[in-house]
Amino acid sequence: MFVTLTANPSVDRTIEVDRLIRGELHRATGAHVQPGGKGINVARALVRNGLKARAVVPAGGADGDHLISLLHAYNIDVVRVRTAEPVRSNISVVEPDATVTKVNESGPHLSGAELETLCDTLMSHVADAEWVVVAGSLPPGAGEDFYADLIARLAPTGAQVVVDTSGPAFRTSVKAGPALVKPNLDELEEAVGRQLDTVRDVVDAAQELRALGAGKVLASLGSKGAVLVEEAGVWCANASAEPRSSVGAGDAMLAGFLAAGGSGPQALATAVAWGAAAVSLPGSTMPGPEDVGARRVRVDPRPEWDEKVRE
């Protein structure tokens, strides 16, 4: 069983336009409303591919009711924690070249009691979990050590903990010793405090995170694929994709990595295949087996160290 916690979920609306021009009226060419949040996306991708996933989410108000109804449509085992303030709504505007302009609300302020209930609820639903994914931004009211404290509480359960977040909460979480972290390039740069231009730079930064406490680092690099750094080795992987929307692609990548065992080059290949499939789909649609298919992935056990990782 895979269990995910999305501390600041959302109802996501994705609008497709021919071209985004500031200050102009636009006619949408497509629109999609989907449940949002990194942990939720991971659960959606896993379930679409025949695996069992449980999503723990704080959800208040009418928008929270909407979020839960959307999740039930995906056959996810949903555990709701009711909150006083409503779930946030996010808007993504996507252009034909897959350029995404996002407007994210900050989310509801959760009280100390609500945060404690959220943690207690998660702890009561991980007895059968092999992996626990704590992911996404923190809601107002949560301190930067929220995920780090959860990692410490989860340690006696034997479940492997994955962290996918950003900012101060990410670096604090790394020090708590998660089994896996999945930063994108910007998040990795923020964590180590410098710009990363090459594969060597990314690997060096990932090794710094491992020295701080992370077991494995899966770094997503957009169209450049991904880099996996773990005790057994370093691998790079890439796959071609016809881009439509990058929203949620990193979450699909993480789901694919976990679905394939969460370690080694084969898991990395699966991760990149799922991520490339997600990029080819509208909105934050998670890929199923029919989307991943026989997608070709190139895995390199001897990376080109000086290869650029930016567009």
The predicted-structure confidence for 174-224, as pLDDT tens digits, reads as follows 999 999 999 999 999 999 999 999 999 999 999 999 999 999 999 999 889
Helix (H) or strand (E) holding 41, with range, is helix 38-48
Q: Which domains does the chain have, with CATH numbers?
A: 2-20+28-300 (3.40.1190.20)
Taking the CA atoms of 101, 137, 118 and 271 in sequence, report the sign of the dihedral they define.
positive
**Residue of 225, 218, 223, 278 lying closest to 252 (CA atoms):** 278
The predicted-structure confidence for 217-265, as pLDDT tens digits, reads as follows 999 998 899 999 999 999 999 888 788 888 889 999 999 999 999 999 9
**Residues of the chain where predicted confidence (pLDDT) is lower than 50:** none
Alpha carbon 118 to chain centroid, angstroms = 19
Amino acid at 9: P
Q: Can you name the residues that pair with 104 across neighbouring β-strands?
A: 90
Give dist(CA 100, CA 199) in Å, integer: 25
Residue 97, pLDDT score: 85
**Residue of 294, 290, 287, 296 lying closest to 42 (CA atoms):** 287
Residue 223, pLDDT score: 86
Q: β-strand 10-16 against 30-36: which pairing, if any?
A: antiparallel
Instruction: Report DSSP letters for 55-77, one per residue.
Output: EEEE--HHHHHHHHHHHHTTT-E
Residue 190, pLDDT score: 96
Counts of helices then strands in the chain (DSSP H, E):
10, 14
Residue 311, pLDDT score: 67
**Residue of 223, 243, 286 lying closest to 94 (CA atoms):** 243
Q: Can you name the residues that pair with 216 across neighbouring β-strands?
A: 180
Residue 143, pLDDT score: 96
Neighbours of 292 (CB within 10 A): 20
Residue 155, pLDDT score: 96
9 Cβ contact list (under 8 Å, min separation 6): 35, 36, 37, 39, 40, 57, 58, 59, 67, 87, 88, 136
User: Which residues are part of the catalytic machinery?
Assistant: 251
C-alpha distances in angstroms, 113 versus 57, 83, 294?
Answer: 15, 10, 48
Residue 240, pLDDT score: 81
